[in-house]
Chain A
């Protein structure tokens, strides 16, 4: 990480907590949102933006930056929280989340938001775009990495596997894919919709370096991100992150339907109170 981020010595657990809190605040503003995913992926985003990625908050299009692609457009609420925490977006803007003429639409789009590299949302597109960016960076002699964050639901899209095969074929050692495995999609558990297991073996068979970690365990994530980045082999790397939807707010974690978790009007403040009671140093 480089550049100027506020409170450079803040711990990663605290960064993750800040991301969670901002995401819940945006959910409160709009009265809805994919907060379950945001709470679940907050630790991954904290490690990404405050440990792994080379970026400059004051210049989100710096040529030397690592590219972070949000294939899952509906996770935008989580990425906005991370971009605010990283100083790329002003905090006051979270009050506009999902509103008319906001730069923070509910599904992430490159044209709207500083720091949003691609337009995700039509699931299964990010990894293929990442293949092209990784090819382009290599052709330019640019040592930056491409990180693509995708969901377990996207493993059902055939284009994901075209891209996976392509990345290995082209020996893209500058491509790191992060799979958020929360086992939830619109109609229920991902493993019951179109099961992608055994996932480790599948990615390995496609020629990738594979790690599977607890995506809510920050030290484990740091180790996995470091290993992915430092691998000497010229092949793409995937980190499968098993995460818990709504992590950090137990009364929401307990809900059965968490893909578009229903949060009552009075529960946003309750969720914030739960977070505030567990604020890390």
Chain B
């Protein structure tokens, strides 16, 4: 007897339109250069080598991702201070905690999805609760790969913001990354840093020659009278580019770069938001749930500051696979999508 198949091909994901073959899946190695800025190779790896030359406490650990987190630069310079822990994030984090207990300053690297989802309890209990100086540095934050939800850490900030003691950094560019490394070493406590790796653009000093990364501080990169964008990560680059485009249309947009997500620089944020008369918009490479936008909203409301407020960020969904430019457009975090949203709200 034969049985009729109950397989329904329509239960599988359906394309929005018949595949055109255009666009190329952005691989894990995707970096964000070629958007009109000069770029720097592996700024994290080189900054860590520079820091390690003067501080023998620094060690590096990775879970089979040294090449994809730029830690290979450190591994080559300091092979005896580099620990390949294999594809085992739980023991990598636990071992980093153990090394911190023995007086070292471990930099532990993997992808943001694996740190936030798989190793969370180990980060919480072995590191954060103990306030140990482990620096967790993770590539592929937010939507920076086209591999789909297995690699897209769209909720890492939401996961980590709830952890006491943990400092959270979302750098924009090569300058932020390079200057954050010694700041992380100097900070006597645990840090989670999102990592742009590979060829990383140098953005901020092109707009603000005096820019310096300061842990825990936000900085106004550009002023403007119609809207204030408060952003972190590469969304600051996008916001600056969108602001330049809008300027040509007579719209004046200020950009406040906020690379430290926690503790948030509430003083600077409130001072800028209180200036009044401006639409306040947050922009983040992260789900709109639980990230920079909600942190800023809570800061404003609890301090009695109530401007017209909007949030740019990823939707509360598991996102599609595909090419990053397509996906950034689709989910509203490309330069032109940011400009379009701002114009629509003004």
Contacts and interface: CB of A to CB of B under 8 A. Distances in A.
A162 interface: yes
Interface of A: 109-111, 117-119, 121-122, 124-125, 127-137, 139-140, 142, 158-159, 162-163, 165-166, 169-170
B311 to A, nearest CB: 34
Interface residues of B, number: 29
B192 interface: no
A231 to B, nearest CB: 21
Contact of A133 (B59, B88, B98): B98
B300 interface: no
A136 B102 contact: yes
Interface stretch (B20-28, B121-129, B217-225, B269-277): B121-129
B98 A119 contact: no
Interface string B84-109: 01101011011111111111101000
B102 A128 contact: no
B91 A162 contact: yes
A118 B121 CA distance: 15
22 contacts: A109-B129, A111-B129, A118-B130, A119-B130, A124-B90, A125-B121, A128-B91, A129-B97, A132-B94, A132-B101, A132-B102, A133-B99, A136-B101, A137-B102, A140-B103, A142-B102, A158-B90, A159-B94, A162-B88, A163-B91, A166-B85, A166-B91
Residue among B85, B88, B91, B100 with max Cβ neighbours from chain A (10 Å): B91
Chain A residues touching B, majority SS: helix
A131 B91 contact: yes
A136 B103 contact: yes
Contact of A129 (B86, B101, B103): B101
Contact of B95 (A118, A119, A142, A166): A166
B126 A128 contact: yes
Interface string B13-57: 000000000000000000000000000000000000000000000
Contact of A135 (B90, B99, B103): B99
B83 interface: yes
Given A125-B122, A139-B59, 8 more contacts: A109-B129, A119-B125, A122-B124, A124-B90, A129-B126, A133-B98, A136-B101, A166-B86
B94 A110 contact: no
